Amino acid sequence: MIWVDWLIVGIIALSAAISLIRGFVVEALSIIIWVVALWAAFQFTGPFAHTFLGGIELPSVRLAVAALILIVAILMLGSMLSWLLGRLVRSTGLSGTDRLLGGVFGILRGALTVVSLVAVASWTPVCQDPWWQQSQLIPTVEALAMQARDFLP
């Protein structure tokens, strides 16, 4: 295995370790919170900027500040909710199961990250580089990326 193969293993292992420590409930909730924050920014930036940030004259700056405020506020509220749910899971005695499921979730998230990175990189000239050609893991990841394309809109 060459350096890029170890990088792939490292990304998946790091994701698994983080999720193992944080647990499934916190990890799943963090993804939901990010989706909600981005959705709210897309849906409510205009009205929020118009109502609360009228003092900022440049429209692009007003919209950017509004989106940033919405995203940060939702992430902060979500972080508090995540902390509370994490405490609840620990108090029920399900922390072992939660961490195990978190580790599995982390492996899947790490694999999805690697597949996404390889898919994007395969559209560039980097796929002609010698290290790309010599990798033992990239062909498998590329095959997964090709299969994943069937599920994309």
Query: 69 φ, ψ to 5°?
Result: -60, -45
Give dist(CA 29, CA 79) in Å, integer.
9
Q: Assign 22 a pLDDT band (cuts: 50, 70, 90).
A: very high
Give dist(CA 60, CA 51) in Å, integer.
15
Sketch the domain layout of the chain as residue ranges. Answer: 3-149
pTM score: 0.78
pLDDT value of position 151? 82
Query: 33 φ, ψ to 5°?
Result: -65, -45
Q: Assign 144 a pLDDT band (cuts: 50, 70, 90).
A: very high
Write out pLDDT tens, residues 97-136: 999 999 999 999 999 999 999 999 988 999 999 999 999 9
Of the candidates 65, 67, 14, the residue with the CA atom closest to the CA atom of residue 41: 67
pLDDT of 70 > 90? The answer is yes
pLDDT value of position 9? 98
